[in-house]
Structure 1
Amino acid sequence: MKLKQLGIGLAAVVFFAACNNQPKTDEASKVDPAEVVTPTENTEPLSGKGKIEFEEDAFDFGTIKEGEVVNHVFKFKNTGEEPVILSAVSASCGCTTPDYTKDPILPGKEGEIKVSFNSQGQVGTQQKIVTVSSNAMNKVTTVQIKGAVVEK
């Protein structure tokens, strides 16, 4: 019995001692503040002068049977003065999957968001919202896909 208690006590000491170990620092990896490069006028961040304008902000797929998959492409144009970068595109439901232009969209150019809706288990009236976050003036915009799903 004493041997068991001694083993548990020793394990506890080793566990707590290991928690206090600090990572070793390599002197060669330390950064000299004099070597830090600060941004210049050519590396300033974009000021949000890009603008996203969708051709349409909603798509009605009508009536489909449960289990069918609906795909739609929402096209947009950058009508602003600077490139637009989409930082996140997310759907309101796991049944809706967005895919989007990852490269910066230059002024006057177009990008797209492909939305796929899987109607399996989604019987009834549907309205799925896709939220688009970017560095544009309109930082957060939405598009939606809607319609009705009937049982098989």
Structure 2
Amino acid sequence: MLKKAFYFIILTVISYLIGSQLKSYLVKLSTPGDIVFLEDIYDFDELKYGQEASVYFKYKNVGSKEIEISEVLSTCGCTVPEWKETPLEPNEIDSLLVRYDTKLIGYFSKEITVSSNGTSDQDRVWITGTVLNPEDSIKN
């Protein structure tokens, strides 16, 4: 009788441990990936007309599944995004390159929309700045 009780207790403990491990594993499998940008706004401040203007926005997959960026759109053709079209593994960091055409004089604020299969299907980053008029620098 004591032997049966001992085996019952051992079997119960093993079942509990296997069950909790299985539950943890299933929760991990069901948690989607998610992108988090380390910075979401970049201010170029003042730029000279025709000067190269580009910035890298770093992002991280903070979920437990890989993420794929399917599309990156800007609000106009003056802002050009570039990104890798390969999956981003959990805890992996990558970056999105954004270039701005500085042949448009004046203040700008441009939104870049990042679409992915992550928890938030769209994320946004912004660039701002002012392109100086080349004639103003000649007068000074």
**Whole-Å separation in 2 of the counterparts to 1:85 and 1:48:** 15
The residue identity in structure 2 corresponding to 1:136 is G
Q: Distance in 1 between matches of 2:126 and 2:31?
A: 24
Provide structure 2 residue ranges, at least 5 long, that are not aligned to the other structure.
1-28, 135-140
Q: Which residue of 1 aligns with 2:115?
A: 133
Q: How far off is 1:70 after superposition? A: 0.4
The AA in structure 1 aligned to 2:124 is: T
Match of 2:53 in 1: 70
Separation in 2, partners of 1:97, 1:47: 34
| Correspondent of 2:106 among 124, 128, 152 | 124
Paired residues for 1:46-85 under 5 Å: 49-85=32-68
Displacement of 1:142 after TM fit?
A: 0.6
2:21 maps to what in 1? none
Letter in 2 for 1:126: F
CA distance in 2, matches of 1:97, 1:48: 32
The gaps in structure 1 that reach 5 residues or longer are 1-45
Measure, in 2, the Cα distance between the counterparts of 1:89 and 1:111.
14
Displacement of 1:47 in angstroms is 6.8
Report what 2:7 is aligned to: none
Which stretches of structure 1, 4 residues or more, deviate above 6 A after TM superposition? none
Cα gap change, 1:89 to 1:57, in 2 (>3 Å): same
Alignment partner, residue 132 of structure 2: 150
Larger of the two Rg values belongs to structure:
1
Q: Is the 8 A contact 1:59 1:145 kept in 2?
A: yes
Identity %: 35
Q: Give, as a single letter, the amino acid of the residue that structure 1 aligns with 2:44.
A: F
User: How far has the Cα of 1:66 moved from its partner?
Assistant: 1.8
